[in-house]
Structure 1
Amino acid sequence: MNKSPDCIVKSNTQTDDNSRERVNSYVIVRRFCKLFKTQYDSKHLVLLTVLCFGSVLTSTAASLDGPFFPSVAEQRGISDSWIGVINGIINLGFIIGSILSRYLLSRYKPKNVLKICVFIFGLSICGFGSLEWCFSAKYFIPIAIFIQLVIGFQMGTYFTTSYTIIYLEFTENLNQVYAKIEVYYSIGLIIGPPLAGFVFQLGETFGYGFCVPFYVFAFLALVMTIVIHLTVKTETLYENKGNISYWQLMSKGGILVNVLVTMNAGALIGFNTTTLELHLEDIANLSPSMVGLVFLISGVSLVTFNHIFEHLAHKIKQKYVISLIGCLSALICLTIIGPIPMIEIEPQLYLVIISQIFLGLGISALLVGAFEQGTKENRNNVFVESSSTTAILSSLFTTWEALGDAFGPVIGGTLMESFDYSWSSFPFFALQLILITIITLFYLWRKFTNKKEDITLESVCYE
C-alpha cells in the first residue's frame, strides 16, 4: 500500500528534525569539550597541576587560623593588636623568602629547593597547631611569631621557586601560567578559613579543636613533598637573563600603580581574615563551621569572577578598567559590611554575606587587572622581554600582595582593639577612594601626554 504524499512529507519533516537535533547535540558536545581542551602536553599539564595545587595548599594552610585563632588567643589574654601582629608577620617572612630564594635557586636545583621548602612548611604548620597546649601568653606570642616567620619564609620560597620552574620549563603563554599561580594563591588565602572551621568543629567532637586543621594540612604538605619528588624534574639553575631587578621594575610609574593595586587586594584579604570572625561574634552566635561558611562565600565569588575577568582582560586594551571595577566592588563591600559610620544601620548578617560576594568580585578584578596591565607596562617600557623578566615581574606582584596581607591584619587588629568594626574598616574604605583617584588621574595623564602610547577613548573598547 502506497503512502500518501502528506505522510511522505510528514516523514521527511520528522527525519529532518531528528537530523537537526543530532547536529545540534553534536555541536553542543564539541563546545563543551573545548572547555577542557588544553594547550599543554601531558608533562607540562602534570607540572602545572602540581604547582597550582601546591599554591592552594600552602596559602590555605597559612590562613587556617582565620575563623578561630582570635578567640583561642583571647582565651590566653592576648590583645587584638598582638593577634594582628601574629597574623601579619607571616607575610614579612614571605617577603624575606621571596628575596633570598633567588640566591638559593642560582646555587641549588629548583626541584630540591621546592621539596625542602614544602617539607619544612609542613613541619612548621604542625608546630603552630601544637600551640594548643601552650597556655601562657608570655611564651605563646614569641613562639607563634617565630613559627609564622618560618611558614612565611617557606611560602615565599615556594612561590619564587614555582615561578622559576615555570620560567625554565614553559616556553609559551607564560603570563597566563603565572597569573594562574597568583590567583590560586589568593584562592587559598580565602578558602583556608572555611576549611579550617569545618575541620576545627569536627575535631572538637573528639575533644580537640585548634590543632586538628593544622595537623591535617601538615600531613598533606608532607604528601605533597613526595608528589613533587615524583613529578618535578627541573635541575637547571636559575639565571636572570634579562638582568632586571625589583627596583628597576618599580621605577616605572605604570608598574608602580599596579603594584599598589595588588597590595590593596592583599590588604583586603588580610583585614577580612583577621577581623571578620570578631565582627560576626558581635552580630550572631555562629558555630565555627558556619563562620567558615561565611568566609567561603568570598572564595567562591573570587573563583567565579576570576574566569570572567581573565576573559575580559583579553578583550580590552586598558586593563585599568578592570582594576577600577575591583576598587568599586571593594568600596561597596566596605560600605555595607560594617556598615560605615556615615550610614546609621545596625550590622546585619545578610549584609555581611552580600559584602563577601562583592569582596570576592573586587579582589579577583584587582588581581587580574593589575597583573595584566603590569605585564603590558613591562613591554611598553622596553625592558628586556624574556621569560626571566616575566618571572621577576610575577614574583614582584605576589610579594607586594603578601606585603598588603601583612599590613591588613596589623592595622585591622590594632583598630579593633580601640574601635568597633565600622570604624576599623573605614581606613580601607578610604584607601579604595584614594586608589580610584590615583588610577583615574594616571589614566588621564597618560591620555593627554601620550606617554609611550596614544591612549584614546577607543582604548577601552573591544579590540
Structure 2
Amino acid sequence: MDQHADPPTRDNNTDNNTTAESTDPPHRFTRKEILTLISVASVNFGSMICYSILGPFFPTEAVKKGASQTVVGLIFGCYAVSNLISSLILGKYIVQIGAKFMLIAGLFVSSCCTIIFGFLDRAPAGPIFISLCFVVRSLDAVGFGAATMSAFAITAQIFPNNVATVLGILEIFAGLGLILGPPLGGWLYQTFGYNVPFLSLGCLLLIMVPFNIYVLPSIEAVPSKDSFFRLLTHVKTILVCYVVFTLSAGVGFLDATLSLFAINRFGLSNGYVGLIMLGLPLVYILASPLIGYFTDKYPATRITFLVTGGIAATIGFCLLGPAPFLHIQSQLWLLVVMLGLIGLSLAISVIPIFPELISCAHEIGFEEGLSTLGMVSGLYEAVWCTGTFYGPIVGGIIVQQLSFEWAAVVQGALAFLGAFLIFMYSLCQRTKRQRVQENNQQADERTPLL
C-alpha cells in the first residue's frame, strides 16, 4: 500500500475503520517517509530550542533596557497570542498556501527573527527596545506556528495509519529542544555574551531551510469548504479541545511559578531548580513513543488515555504543593515525583489528542485530505496557545492572592473536569449505542418471517 497516495474514501462506519486500523500489519518505512521524519524532527527540535533559549538571560537583559517585570511577561505572552491568531488563519488556508511552502517559509521567518533578536541589545533603551521586542517576538510566533502546524498536517497526511506513533517519536525531538534550550542558551550567554545564543541557533534554523526544501515531499490537495465553526459543532471536539487547554495551561503555570516556589520553599539555587524541572520533559519524551505505539495499535483506547491522563494530572498537581486540605508536609522528593507524574500524564493525553481530533472531523463528515488536517492542526495549535497564555497569568494571580499550593489545586481541578466530561460523554455514547442495538434486535424479533 502506497503511503503517499491519497487515503481511500472513508467508510461511514467508524467502528469498522477502527478495527481495520488496529489490525493493519506493520510496514517498513520507505525512503521518502524516513526523509519526512528527519525533516519534521529537525523542525521540531530547531524551533523548540530557539523558542526556549530566552528564559535564562533575556528577562535580566530586558530589565537593563528599561522593561519592567510586567512588560517582560507581556513580551513572552504576545508569543502565544500571535501564534493563536496565525494558527487559525494559516490552518484554514494551508491548501492554498501549500503545506511544504508554509513549513519552509515559517522556518525561514523564525530563523531570521531569532537572529534579529540577537541584535536587539544595540537598540536604544526604553520604548524603542520594548516595541522591537514585541514586533520580532510576534513575527517569530507566526513563523514558528506556521512551521509546526504544517509539520503536524504533513505528518498526518504521509502516515495516515500511524499518526500517534510518529507523533510520539517526533515529540522526543521537541522535548529535547525544550530541555537543551535553557542550559545551552545560558552557557552561550555566559561565555560569549548576549548575541551568540541567538545568532548561533538562528543560523542553525536557517541551515535547515535548504535541507527541508530538498527532502520534504510536496503534497497536492483540493481546498475544502468546511470551517472551524463546523468542526466545533461536534460536542466531542469541544471536549477534546478543553483537554488540550488544561494541558497547556498546566505547563504554562509551572513555567511561570514553579522555580520561585522551589527556591522559597526548599532554599534551592537556580541550577538545582533547573535540574528539578527537567523531570517533567524527560518523563514526557521517554513515554511518548510508547503511548503513540499503543494508541495506533489500539485506537479504541484513545478516550481511555485521555481520562487516565486527566486523573494522573489531577493527582500530580494536588500533591505538587501538596494541597493544603491534604495536610501533607511539603517534601522535595514528593515534588520531583509529582513533576514526573505530570510529565507522564502529558504523554498519556497529548499523543492521542491529534488523531482523536482527526477522528472527530471525519465523524461529522469532513473529507479526508490536507485541508481537514490543516484545520485540525490550526485548531489544536490555537487552543494550546490559549492555554499557555491563560496558565501563567491566572496561575500567577492565584499564587499572589492565595498560594502556589492552591494554584496547583486549581490546575488539578481543571484537569479532573476534563477527564470527567470526556468519561461522561463516552459513557453516554456507549449507552446510546446499546439502546439502538437493543431496539434493532427487538424490531427484528417482531418482524414476521416471509
Report the TM-score when normalising by structure 1: 0.76
1:324–1:436 CA contact under 8 A, matched in 2: yes
Q: Is the 8 A contact 1:47 1:231 kept in 2?
A: yes
How many angstroms does 1:221 deviate by? 0.8
Q: How far off its partner does 1:302 sit?
A: 0.8
User: Distance between the aligned counterparts of 2:252 and 2:177, measured in 1?
Assistant: 12
Equivalent position of 1:300 in the other structure: 282
Structure 1 residues not aligned, in runs of 5+: 1-36, 456-463
Could you say which residue in structure 2 is the equivalent of 1:217? 201
Between stretches 54-63 and 177-186, larger displacement belongs to 177-186
The higher radius of gyration belongs to 1
Decide which of 207, 211, 225 is 1:227's aligned counterpart. Answer: 211
Deviation at 1:413, TM superposition (A): 3.5
- Aligned-residue Cα RMSD (Å) equals 3.4
Partner of 2:133: 144
Cα 1:43–1:296 shift into 2, 3 Å: same
Deviates more, 1:128-137 or 1:323-332: 128-137
CA drift at 1:436 = 2.6
Shift of 1:130: 4.3
* Aligned residue number for residue 199 of structure 1: 184
Partner AA of 2:112 in structure 1 = L
CA contact (8 A) 1:297 1:353 kept: yes
What secondary structure does 2:278 align onto?
A: helix
Between the aligned partners of 1:151 and 1:39, the Cα distance in structure 2 is 36
From 397, 421, 427, the equivalent of 1:438 is: 421
- Runs of 4+ in structure 1 off by over 6 angstroms are 74-77, 451-455
**Counterpart position of 2:308:** 325
Q: Cα 1:118–1:286, aligned 2, differ >3 Å: closer, same or farther?
A: farther
Contact residue 114 and residue 202 of structure 2 kept, 8 A: yes
Question: 1: CA distance between counterparts of 2:66 and 2:327?
Answer: 33
Partner of 1:377: 360
Structure 2 residue ranges without an equivalent (≥5) = 1-25, 439-450
Per-residue deviation, 1:56: 2.6
Q: Which residue of 2 aligns with 1:357?
A: 340
2-structure distance, mates of 1:38, 1:206? 47
Q: Secondary structure at the match of 2:300?
A: coil
**Cα gap change, 1:122 to 1:182, in 2 (>3 Å):** farther
Partners of 1:321 and 1:135 in 2: how far apart? 54
Offset at residue 251 of structure 1 (A): 0.7
User: CA–CA distance in 2 between the matches of 1:93 and 1:415?
Assistant: 25
Distance 1:288-1:139 versus aligned 2 partners, 3 A rule = farther
Q: What letter matches 1:203 in structure 2?
A: L
- The alignment partner of 1:450 has SS state of helix
Of residues 92, 112, 123, the one that matches 2:81 is 92
- Tell me: CA distance 1:454–1:203, structure 2 relative to 1, closer, same or farther (3 Å): farther
| Gap change, CA 1:115 and 1:191, over 3 Å in 2 | same
The within-5 A match list for 1:419-438 is 419-438=402-421
Distance 2:213 2:51 in 1: 22
Does 2:381 align with 1:398? yes
Partner of residue 39, structure 2: 50
Deviation (angstroms), 1:124: 1.4
SS at match of 2:324: coil
Query: Cα distance, 1:142 vs. partner?
Result: 3.7
Report if the CA contact (8 A) 1:193-1:273 is conserved.
Answer: no
Query: Residue by residue, what CA displacement relative to the aligned partner does 1:90-133 show, whole Å, maximum 9, x if unpaired?
Result: 12211222233357655555444433321220121233344556
Letter in 2 for 1:300: L
- The percent identity for this pair of structures is 19
2:203 aligned partner, one-letter code: F
**Partner residue in 1 for 2:12:** none
**What count of residue pairs does the alignment treat as equivalent?**
412
Tell me the SS of whatever aligns to 1:317: helix
TM-superposed CA distance for 1:246, in Å, is 1.7
Equivalent position SS for 2:53: coil
- Aligned residue for 1:425, secondary structure, equals helix
Q: 1:42 to 1:399 in 2, by over 3 A?
A: same
Q: How does 1:400-419 map to 2 (within 5 A)?
A: 400-419=383-402
CA change 1:68–1:38 in 2 (3 A) is: farther
- String of CA shifts for 1:40-81, please: whole Å, max 9, x gaps: 211221122111220232133223334555566667786665
In 2, Cα distance between equivalents of 1:403 and 1:183: 25
